[in-house]
Amino acid sequence: MLGWRDDRPLADVLPAEAVKTLRKSFKFSTCGDLLAHYPRTYLRGSTDVGAGGAIEGEYVTVTASVVNVTQSETRTGKRVINVALDNGFQAAFFGQMWVFRVLRPGARVIIAGKLKFFRHTPQLQNPKFMLLGKDAKKAQGTKEFRELAMFGSLAELLADRPWIPIYPATDKVSSWFLLGAIHQVLESLPEIPEPLDYEVPLSYDQALRQVHEPPFEGPYMAIHRLKYNEALTVGLVMALRRRDALGHVAPALPPREDGLRAALLSSLPFELTQGQRDVLGEISHDISQVFPMQRLLQGEVGSGKTMVALLAMLQAADCGYQSALLAPTEVLAAQHFASIFAQAPAGVNVVLLTGSMKTAAKRQALLDIVSGEADIVIGTHAIIQDTVEFYDLGLVVVDEQHRFGVEQRDTLRGKAQQYPHMLVMTATPIPRTIAMTVFGDLSVSTLRELPGGRKPIQSFVVPESNEAWVARGWARIREEVAKGHQAYIVAPRIEEAGGVKKLMEELEFGPLRGLRLAMLHGKMSDKDEVMAAFARGEYDVLVATTVIEVGVDVPNATIMLIRESENFGVSQLHQLRGRVGRGGNASLCLFHTLAAPGSASFQRVNAIAQTSSGFDLAELDLANRKEGDILGTLQSGEHRTLRLLNLLTDGETISRASFDATGLVARNEQLARELVAELTEDEQAYLDKS
């Protein structure tokens, strides 16, 4: 990390048996692999303390002589070996009768464990131990200390350790074994030159050593420095990407006071929100420049992102350039086309291009695109195909960016004569720390307000255990349909109990008998046709999986019931909920759950029901995910970029490192590139937003 690697083979430093064990259990082959295996926690340690100097709860290591060994029984009949030591300590071994044969009065022993006080006497329960000196004719003691002895004198290895590191271990490799192996590698490690050109509180060399062998003050400074290193590595990659983008030339697309953009703004039947005006100003400024815009637009479902994107595309059209809007599904592409076609001023040629279009229509669309007749091209992956050639592409808009990989966006970018401006949009709010890491190479704009006229969606939890509430949920769907509205029912799976197929059967002959029901899931070949028919009002209720999560816009849908909602993620539930309430009507979302009231899963679903802000839910999502899920692609693969950094709790460190990375790239770009040079292309790909 930061330009430093320890590629020494473990075989050059450790015993052959230890090398074999580490390779088999952890796939470690170099000293750097082992040193990057950080402790998961620490025990506050003491060495050779007297009876009066120990604090209960400390992990103590003492050397002493055995005074006597006795046996007793607990009230439940369990045998206990009691060992009295000459320093005033006692050791109690529960059910370990072999200890009675090994420990004899007068034997010298090193012994370690967590200290408790039993009848005012310091006691170690089930401690680790090993015989020392002339009493140790052969390695006798607990397995962990026998392994540790492989790396040298136990007294020296454990001397003066105010903190005992506890490593992620396996049933074959103990934490003690790892402690010894890492100590031996650190002993042989030359001093690491400080890679940064500015002052930091703790050097890289000190941090790497102290995270494994903390001083009296503890490991905290070392952990902070190593977290900073990880955040800085990501920050440098993103800052360099921003610098590289400045090396490209994009077409300048300044706004015109008498153009298409101005015409739409003057004819809108509603007022833009202040947020829309602010974001539009940011985008308009960016695309007026000769270096390419790279901006992320995040906003709640229904916050008006598409209108902002349309105005930006009209600004490009005013300057004689084409725009392309890439959507993840044909249904969403068709909806964008219908909306933009209806709102665009006269004279704007909006073209749709999807894979399922008939040959003649597709041929005409391709001709309009290559000839320059098409001002705005809206489509799916079909836009990326080799057969598609643009006349002069100036702006690329990617909707629901997480559905597209970096390579796909680069392919579309490559269809332009000059480097086009890029706007990526998402309805999934992104926590600040993720925005600084995963999206650190993009400028971020945020829409928080909803346009006037939109009514908040009422949300309620429906426990399966409350039969009356479940019945009321089905009744509410019938009531909404009776008013002329439509409903979604979402299931977590296709097959088996609770899946779309069985649920469809149960509803057709049960609580929704007589209504027009349609089924939709990802394995259906005609899913776009079914969705389009529902949008046209040909069905009352759509029973579906999460294929409806993104971009389905049916203004007449006013109620959604999500079955087994505890099986969905926080942001996913919020996205699903956003499918209703799009037509200005009062709307309702029911979160059905099998989770027991009071359980963690029930509380999570209840928190979502009570929270309408996607930004608040994004933070809740971050808090509920496991670390690997939080970090996503940043922790993929065997060579993880992030090992210590936590996006939930380390916001200040990430912010500082991001700021420092930008300054370092501006001050010394060559050094910045050297500091991330050890990341392979594959490892840097983990930092991509795919």
DSSP assignment of 227-287, as one string? Answer: HHHHHHHHHHHHHHHHHHHHTS--------TTSHHHHHHHH-SSPPPHHHHHHHHHHHHHH
Task: Look at strands 557-562 and 541-544 and give their pairing.
Answer: unpaired
Whole-number Å distance between alpha carbons of 352 and 374: 10
Q: If you count DSSP H runs as helices and E runs as strands, how many of each does the chain have, helices first?
A: 25, 21
Task: List, in order of start, the domains of the chain with CATH numbers.
Answer: 260-447 (3.40.50.300), 457-611 (3.40.50.300)
* Residue 634 neighbours by CB under 8 Å, 6+ apart: 234, 437, 438, 640, 641, 642, 686, 687
Contact 80, 71 (CB under 8 A): yes
**Residue 556 or 412, more confident:** 556
- Give the model's confidence band at 454: pLDDT under 50 very low, under 70 low, under 90 confident, else very high: low
pLDDT value at position 307? 93
Mean pLDDT to the nearest integer, 342-347: 92
**Residue 381 or 642, more confident:** 381
pLDDT value at position 53? 56
**Lowest-confidence segment of 23-37, 48-62, 452-466, 660-674 by average pLDDT:** 48-62
Residue 9 has pLDDT above 80, yes or no: yes
Task: Look at strands 541-544 and 486-490 and give their pairing.
Answer: parallel
Q: Which tokens belong to 609?
A: 């029901």
Helix, strand, coil content of the chain in percent (nearest 5): 40, 20, 40
Mean pLDDT to the nearest integer, 98-103: 87
Q: What Rg, from alpha-carbon coordinates, does the chain have?
A: 32
Residue 138 has pLDDT above 60, yes or no: no
Residue 484 has pLDDT above 60, yes or no: yes
Residue 690 has pLDDT above 50, yes or no: no
Mean pLDDT to the nearest integer, 77-92: 89
pLDDT value at position 411? 75
Residue 379 has pLDDT above 70, yes or no: yes
pLDDT value at position 367? 95
pTM: 0.69
- Say which amino acid occupies 102: V
* DSSP structure string for 385-442: STT---SSEEEEEEESGGGS-HHHHHHHHTTSSSPPEEEEEESS---HHHHHHTTTTS
Mean pLDDT to the nearest integer, 327-336: 84
Mean pLDDT to the nearest integer, 86-93: 88
Query: Which position has the token pair 């007449």?
Result: 556
pLDDT value at position 550? 64
pLDDT value at position 406? 58
* Residue 319 neighbours by CB under 8 Å, 6+ apart: 251, 252, 253, 254, 256, 394
pLDDT value at position 637? 42
- Say which amino acid occupies 259: G
Give Dmax over CA atoms of the chain in angstroms.
Answer: 101
Whole-number Å distance between alpha carbons of 579 and 560: 8
- The kind and range of the H/E element at 118 are strand 108-118
Nearest-CA neighbor of 451 among 312, 569, 299?
299
Residue 260 has pLDDT above 70, yes or no: yes
Mean pLDDT to the nearest integer, 214-219: 92
Residue 599 has pLDDT above 70, yes or no: yes
**Lowest-confidence segment of 223-227, 407-411, 532-536 by average pLDDT:** 407-411
**Lowest-confidence segment of 199-203, 267-271, 394-398 by average pLDDT:** 267-271
Q: What is the pLDDT of the chain when averaged over all its residues?
A: 85
pLDDT value at position 639? 47
Q: What percent of the chain has pLDDT over 90?
A: 45
**Structure letter (DSSP) for residue 304:** S
Per-residue pLDDT tens for 400-449? 755 555 566 677 777 777 889 999 888 777 767 777 776 777 888 888 87
* DSSP structure string for 553-593: --TTEEEEEETTGGGS-HHHHHHHHTTSS-SSS-EEEEEEE
Q: Which tokens belong to 1?
A: 């990390």
- Give the model's confidence band at 61: pLDDT under 50 very low, under 70 low, under 90 confident, else very high: confident
- Say which amino acid occupies 371: S
Query: Which position has the token pair 């030339």?
Result: 249
Residue 625 has pLDDT above 90, yes or no: no
CA distances from 58 to 91, 117, 124 (A): 15, 11, 10
Q: Which tokens belong to 444?
A: 């971020």
Contact 235, 665 (CB under 8 A): no
Per-residue pLDDT tens for 269-298? 888 989 999 999 999 999 999 989 989 898
